[in-house]
Amino acid sequence: MGSGMTMNPRSQDRSALEQEQFLKILSREDALARFEAALFPRTIPSEARKLADALGAALAEDVTAPIDVPPFDRSNVDGFAVRSADVVAAGEGAPVRLALNGETIHCGTAPTLQVAAGSATAIATGGPLPRGADAVVMVEHTQPAGSDAIEVRRATSPGQFVSYAGSDIARGEALLRVGTIIGSREIGMLAACGIAEVNVARKPRVAVISTGDELVQPGRPLTPAAIYDTNGAIVAAAIDENGGEAIFLGAIPDDEAKLEAAMRNALADADMLVLSGGTSKGTGDLSHRIIGRLGQPGIIAHGVALKPGKPLCLAVCDGKPVVILPGFPTSAMFTFHDTIVPVLRRMAGLPPRSDAKVNATVPVRIASELGRTEFVMVSLVEGRGRDGLIAYPSGKGSGAITSFAQADGFLRIDALADQMPAGTEAEVTLFTPHVRVPDLVIVGSHCTGLDLVTAQLAHAGLTVRSIAVGSLGGLAAARRGECDLAPIHLFDDRSEAYNTPYLVEGLELVPGWRRMQGIVFRKGDKRFEGLGAKDAVAAALADRACIMVNRNQGAGTRILIDRLLGGARPEGYWNQPRSHNAVAAAVAQHRADWGMTIAPVAHAVGLGFIPLAEEHYDFALVTARKDRPAVRAFLDALASNEARAALERAGFRPA
Amino acid sequence: MGSGMTMNPRSQDRSALEQEQFLKILSREDALARFEAALFPRTIPSEARKLADALGAALAEDVTAPIDVPPFDRSNVDGFAVRSADVVAAGEGAPVRLALNGETIHCGTAPTLQVAAGSATAIATGGPLPRGADAVVMVEHTQPAGSDAIEVRRATSPGQFVSYAGSDIARGEALLRVGTIIGSREIGMLAACGIAEVNVARKPRVAVISTGDELVQPGRPLTPAAIYDTNGAIVAAAIDENGGEAIFLGAIPDDEAKLEAAMRNALADADMLVLSGGTSKGTGDLSHRIIGRLGQPGIIAHGVALKPGKPLCLAVCDGKPVVILPGFPTSAMFTFHDTIVPVLRRMAGLPPRSDAKVNATVPVRIASELGRTEFVMVSLVEGRGRDGLIAYPSGKGSGAITSFAQADGFLRIDALADQMPAGTEAEVTLFTPHVRVPDLVIVGSHCTGLDLVTAQLAHAGLTVRSIAVGSLGGLAAARRGECDLAPIHLFDDRSEAYNTPYLVEGLELVPGWRRMQGIVFRKGDKRFEGLGAKDAVAAALADRACIMVNRNQGAGTRILIDRLLGGARPEGYWNQPRSHNAVAAAVAQHRADWGMTIAPVAHAVGLGFIPLAEEHYDFALVTARKDRPAVRAFLDALASNEARAALERAGFRPA
């Protein structure tokens, strides 16, 4: 994304490209060490902040308590200030009469009379102890004795119900240390000492620029071949989450002069510059060339042995960090967290982030590239019995935003390993402080109808995790006891039945709904309008210019297609996406002219649809998990009128 | 605090007070259940928010993906779009020559030419796959072949290096559910779909009023008998931390008309009203009387069997929650977290807070009141060997802000128990997601000089926890191996030596510094000016109007005082605070005329000082912990010129 590559083998660009590939790739640790060495130590700028505005800021200096808290010896109860020597032997059977002094000590009123022997002064909770008194008797332990005296009926020791001056916070003690993040508790301690303003580290201003001609900002219409700028928004938000103040400057096209001007302006105004996109080593990659002109020492590392994140570029220009993140969203975000957050937090005067870690078992083998530290995004689910947690690797890769955004954390595969075998117990670094094991785990094929059913659970406060690995992957997970339900739509060619032939012991079928499969084409395409399915396929096969889009091996829809084709291999047969949505997109966007998908998907993008046969979308339920509350809630939701109506509205037919 | 009690036994107020004490006290669970039943279910108001401003907000509705992400079949590498059937058998020894089509697909440019059999189109990472192609070959696996062709030298399978439309996010799938808190990851998913604005739950506006004539806002000068308003600031900050928008209206004096006007104005404008102070059942307590006039159903619970927090008042006035928090800071904050935060989060559309819990051993017996659920604030330190965590109860009580602010969490003692025995393994609910076990634990007597030494550790990133339990408590903790160092200043009357006589096996003495003890008096007091210590005491004893302030039994200073007094028991002898600061405050504030404290404390408050004898402030070091890095760092800091100079500047004499 944003590489803007000119892949013309006739030009000199190609050799430049190949030359660049020999640039030295640094190890992750080397790159970070060099980056930090070029940036630190440095002065953390600070600013005065009113207490009410200081929440979340980091203290820029130690704070010493300027006063004692409480500032005076304070009564902790409503009662009477006394001399303990007068009432040390008082009791129910031996009441001691004390004359009342002619004042009542409220909160905020200073006492004026001394408590002499044989006397007492009424005092409210929080009132300052008068001269002469050394203890307080609770009002409940006294009786009025005439109009100007009380009887004390409880023995009283020195200091009883008194909080002495400085017993909470002592004048001169270190109240808070530099670097402390100010939360409500810190605000309480500062307020108690009367401190209304504190010096806090000024948030580093971080300019964010997206690069790439293909980027459209969210909220605007998407043009053909364009994509929405994901990295700009997510990087800006992650900067705010980690103590910085993001200034998002939008997407700049791949124009050297414009980009250089934008980068210079950003750096003049900000403490740090982060670019995303434009990190391919293609010849159109401008940003890293520009960096060389922006200040010393310039590029520290361009290419880091890190996956995801290899094309990361770290630079320092006249003391300010400049970073080019990889263009792929998960690469960008992982790299940002791994390499930029530590620097940003340090510049913000914050302590290092403390990441929570848990151990989890990897259910499948994970391949890894030798020579690069690889970080694998994983989702956590509860294992069977006492097996602990299971860490599912995201199958979507670093080009997908959901690989990062829906993961619970990541595990690390060493640069010297070429795989992590299935069954490995790995340490998972969490993205959030707690493991949030979902209440219901669904692993298999995904359907938008499923969201309509699980909505009821989500709104009742249950967490549902749906991991899309296809029907066969779901069945395998169900057999291993790693999920509650596996949604499947598997057609058995021999028995001509859906799903049931695939069940094994320990699994049972829960009927879901039917999805009408059919042939899709662009409305107005005369080759298909008005035809039945068989005639439509015959028409397609008759036209050599007509291109199909197929489905992946193993998909139930693929079996139907192959039957219709009867051995023919028309143009587009090898275009084999893995989802109904991808088939519809291929036809809608003219990459293909026909294919097979389900009715709701066809209708959503406005394609013509020739119905053919219903697909059965059912659930393989792990019998041992049948009585879990979330499973019951799912089965109830599935059977509810509400869900059935919603499924029908969306074009599905509940079983 | 803020009770504004009129404790006049001659008035009718007293019987009203006693009557009120018979009001029904509800159990914590009962009170909460009634409060929530009066408030929920309710509609959560929502508002549209731009993505950039939505960080931290809670989604007000489910969000469904409006588009496929990626929107088209996308190349994941720089290379050439091909038909896999052409190059399925390509290899180093069997290169396949493909003619180049006359366009290069950049990011953001839609392809115009079809990839026909035997041809290829140059494509950049992120570019859309052209019609006819079903895979991409990396540029590294090709060679130029003349000016308008390439050779492919690697077998290529269908779909290679292609991300299909919708493979990241499928149009129509449930992207995010209502109640999700929007972090950077959610912003990434929304941006990827082109969503620029979301409906989020509107933050509840929570008005905060402090009540009490004695309250001074931080930043203003403290008048006699007044204290700083701690609760206003801490409650407002805690509201902001838990999804609300605090509107702090300042402290209102104990005036019924003024307070009622303030409460009515606050409720007209806000979704919730929180008062702090004024919760004593003293007769001056106005706020709960006013609540009865503000709306239906009014007070739900006044008095909850909860410690700290008994005087909590929960009310609902015409649908809006009104809460009167106890006046003591730790009571107020604990009650706020226990009872108000769940309601506030629910009103804010947030999920319940998930508190982390750990198990820890209680080193000392904790007494508890029968019939009230008691929550005890604790600090966590690492135990000996494999003993796990030790939970130290805060000894300061609910009147101290530091009981709450410096605790790591709290443990619960059931209403039916009257104590928790020493050695109990208890569950501790943490205030922060992680246990932060400190690097260095110091338990014993505190001295401001100690802060000067530990500053070096704190600035080097080490965390230091200092728990002030007095010299003897520190020695006990050291013997149990619960701390690294115990600061002590214990005088042995028999051997006339400091500290060394108190050491047992496993402990060794690290010399600290000397603190000059002496007699303090107010400057200008003619009774003491110019005298030596013995003469000063003689002068004090000769004047019956002269009042002393003593120290607690067990304090080294107390032994000195008793020697000077030689058996006399003058006025004020039973006033026995536990710290040097409290002695100085008593004299400075005229509660006493003389006492004994240390020179730096006397000078800090501007008292006259007659030096008498040096106190030895040393450290009992747990030998087994001697080699821990933080202990070494402490010993280095103690010996450093920097610390010695700082101690001398502060009036201490390094040993």
Phi-psi map region of B583: left, alpha, beta (phi>0 left; psi -120 to 50 alpha) = alpha
- Is B171 close to A215, i.e. CB distance below 8 A? no
pLDDT per position as a tens digit, A99-114: 999 999 988 889 999 9
Q: Which of A83, A212, A589 sits opposite B108 (nearest CB)?
A: A212
Residue A57 has pLDDT above 80, yes or no: yes
How distant is the Cα of A189 from the closest Cα of chain B, in angstroms?
A: 7
Instruction: Please report residues of A whose CB lies closer than 8 A to that of B590.
Output: 131
Mean pLDDT calculated for residue range B172-181: 93
pLDDT of A364 strictly over 50 = yes
Percent of chain B residues topping a pLDDT of 70: 95
Residue among A398, A426, A206 at smallest CA distance from A306 = A398
- Tell me whether residues B123 and A582 touch, CB distance under 8 A: no
pLDDT at B16: 43
Q: Enter the DSSP assignment of B169.
A: B
Question: A574 and chain B: CB distance < 8 Å anywhere?
Answer: yes
Quick check: B229 and A191 CB within 8 A?
A: yes
Q: What is the 3-state secondary structure (H, E, C) of B12-34?
A: CHHHHHHHHCCCCCEEHHHHHHH
The dihedral over CA atoms of A87, A89, A93, A96, expressed in degrees to the nearest 10, equals -20
Nearest-CB residue to B131 (from A108, A129, A547)? A547
Q: Give the helix/strand (H/E) hosting A34.
A: helix A28-39
pLDDT (mean) for A241-270: 93
What's the ipTM?
0.90
Instruction: With CB atoms and an 8 Å threshold, state whether A7 touches B123.
Output: yes
Does residue A10 surpass a pLDDT of 60? no
The fold for domain A440-655 equals D-Maltodextrin-Binding Protein; domain 2 (3.40.190)
Dump pLDDT digits (tens) for B266-315: 999 999 999 987 544 443 468 888 998 999 999 999 888 777 777 789 99
Residues 582-621 of A with CB under 8 A from B: 582, 585-586, 589-592, 600-601, 604-605
- CA B359 to chain centroid, in Å, comes to 19
Instruction: Find the mean pLDDT for residues A570-598.
Output: 96
Amino acid A420 reads M
| Among A621-630, A644-653, B8-17, the least confident range | B8-17
Nearest to B237 among A184, A233, A448 (CB): A184
Name the residue among B448, B516, B443, B450 with its Cα closest to residue A68.
B448
Of B184, B194, B600, the CB nearest to A241: B184
Residue of B77 and A6 predicted with greater confidence? B77
Tokens of A11: 């030009």
Assess whether pLDDT exceeds 70 at residue A28: yes
Counting Cα atoms < 13 Å in the Cβ hemisphere of B24 gives 8
Give the confidence band of A387 by pLDDT, cuts at 50, 70, 90.
low
Residues of A in contact with B9 (CB under 8 A): 100, 122, 144, 147, 150
The chain B residue lying nearest A592, using CA atoms, is B131
Q: Spell out which residues of chain A touch residue B219, defining contact as CB-CB under 8 Å.
A: 194-197
User: How many other CB atoms are there within 10 angstroms of residue B359's CB atom?
Assistant: 12
Pick among A575, A597, A647, A652 to test the B interface (most B CBs inside 10 A): A575
* Lowest-pLDDT range of A176-185, B347-356, B383-392, B636-645: B383-392
pLDDT band at A7 (very low <50, low <70, confident <90, very high): very low
Q: Which residues between 484 and 523 in chain A have a beta carbon less than 8 angstroms from any beta carbon of chain B?
A: none
Across the interface, whether the CB atoms of B232 and A1 are under 8 A apart is answered no
Q: Residue B278 has what pLDDT?
A: 53
Alpha helices in A348-423 (DSSP H): 401-405
Task: State the pLDDT confidence band at B9, using cuts at 50, 70 and 90.
Answer: very low
* Chain B positions in Cβ-Cβ contact with residue A433 (cut-off 8 Å): 356, 433-434
Cis peptide before B433 (omega within 30 of 0): no
Q: What is the pLDDT of residue A326?
A: 86
- Using DSSP bridges, classify how beta strands B373-382 and B366-367 pair: parallel, antiparallel or unpaired: unpaired
The pLDDT of B483-497, averaged and rounded, is 92
Residues 6+ away with beta carbon under 8 Å from A104: A121, A122, A123, A124, B5, B6, B7, B8
Position with higher pLDDT, A114 vs A292: A114
Closest-CA distance, B45 to chain A, in angstroms, reads 17
Kindly tell me if the per-residue pLDDT of B369 is higher than 90: no
End-to-end CA distance of chain A: 43
- Indicate where chain A has its CATH 3.90.105.10 domain(s): 46-69+168-201
pLDDT of residue B23: 54
Mean pLDDT of A86-104: 94
Mean pLDDT, chain A, rounded, equals: 90
pLDDT of residue B386: 59
Residue in B20, B134, B254, B331 to test binding to A, most A beta-carbons within 10 Å: B134
Greatest CA separation found in chain A?
A: 117
Chain B positions touching A67 (Cβ under 8 A) are 222
Considering only CB atoms, B228 lies closest to which of A83, A194, A590, namely A194
Query: Is residue A280's pLDDT more than 80?
Result: no
Distance (Å) from the alpha carbon of B505 to chain A's nearest alpha carbon: 32
B387 pLDDT tier (thresholds 50, 70, 90)? low
Q: Which amino acid is at A470?
A: G
Residues 382-441 of B with CB under 8 A from A: 396-397, 399-402, 404-406, 431, 433-434, 436
- pLDDT at position B114 is 97
Task: Name the CATH code of domain A46-69+168-201 (choices 3.40.50.150, 3.30.450.40, 3.90.105.10, 3.40.50.170).
Answer: 3.90.105.10
What percent of chain A has pLDDT above 70?
95
Residue B385 has a pLDDT of 62
Task: For chain A, positions 160-199, list CB contacts with chain B under 8 A.
Answer: 163-174, 177-178, 183-197
Q: What is the pLDDT of residues A472-499, one digit of tens each?
A: 889 999 998 889 999 999 988 889 899 9
Do residue B108 and residue A225 have CB atoms under 8 angstroms apart?
A: yes
Mean pLDDT within A600-606 = 95
Domain A13-40+203-347: give its CATH architecture: 3-Layer(aba) Sandwich (3.40)
Give the pLDDT band (50/70/90) at residue A22. very low
pLDDT tens digits for B337-358? 988 999 999 999 988 887 788 9
pLDDT at B11: 44
Q: Do A433 and B178 touch (CB under 8 A)?
A: no
Please name the residues between 217 and 276 in chain B that touch chain A, using a CB distance below 8 Å. 217-220, 222-238, 240-241, 248
Mean local confidence (pLDDT), A375-385: 85
Inter-chain residue contact A72 with B585, CB threshold 8 Å: yes
pLDDT band at residue B6 using 50, 70 and 90 as cut-offs: very low
Partner-chain contact B282 A218, CB within 8 Å: no
Report how far residue B26's alpha carbon sits from residue B436's, in angstroms, rounded to the nearest whole number. 35
Q: Is the CB of A174 less than 8 angstroms away from the CB of B397?
A: no
Contact B55 A241 (CB under 8 A): yes
Q: Is the CB of B65 inside 8 Å of chain A's CB atoms?
A: no
Chain B residue numbers touching A144 (CB-CB < 8 A): 9, 14
Mean pLDDT of the B142-156 span? 94
A301-331 residue pLDDT tens? 988 877 777 778 999 999 999 999 988 888 8
Chain A contacts of B14, Cβ < 8 Å? 144
Question: Where are the CATH 2.40.340.10 domain residues in chain A?
Answer: 357-430
- Residues of B in Cβ contact (< 8 Å) with A112: none
Model confidence at A23, pLDDT cuts 50, 70, 90, reads low
- The answer to whether the CB atoms of A125 and B280 lie below 8 A apart is yes
Contact B582 A68 (CB under 8 A): yes
pLDDT of residue A309: 72
B158–A183 CB contact, under 8 Å: no
Q: Average pLDDT for residues B589-597, to the nearest whole number?
A: 97
CB contact B9 to A (< 8 Å): yes
Percent of chain B with pLDDT over 90: 71
Which of B9, B52, B74 is closest, CB to CB, to A144?
B9
The hierarchical CATH code for the domain B357-430 is 2.40.340.10
Contact A108 B213 (CB under 8 A): yes
Determine, for residues B458 and A581 on separate chains, whether the beta-carbon distance falls below 8 Å.
no
* Bond from prior residue into B308 cis (ω within 30 degrees of 0): yes
Does B225 sit within 8 Å of A109, measured CB to CB?
yes
What's the pTM? 0.88
Span B181-209, mean pLDDT? 96
**3-state SS, one letter per residue, for B332-379:** HHHHHHHHHHHHHHHHCCCCCCCCCEEEEECCCCEECCCCCEEEEEEE
Q: Does B74-163 carry CATH code 2.60.120.200?
A: no
Q: Residue A458: closest CA among chain B residues belongs to which residue?
A: B177
Give A375 to chain B, closest Cα distance, Å.
17
Looking at residue A14, its pLDDT comes to 46
Q: How far is A505 from chain B (nearest CA, A)?
A: 32
Q: Is B137 exposed, middle or buried (0-12, 13-18, 19+ CB in 10 A)?
A: buried
Residue B176: CB atoms within 10 A of its CB come to 21
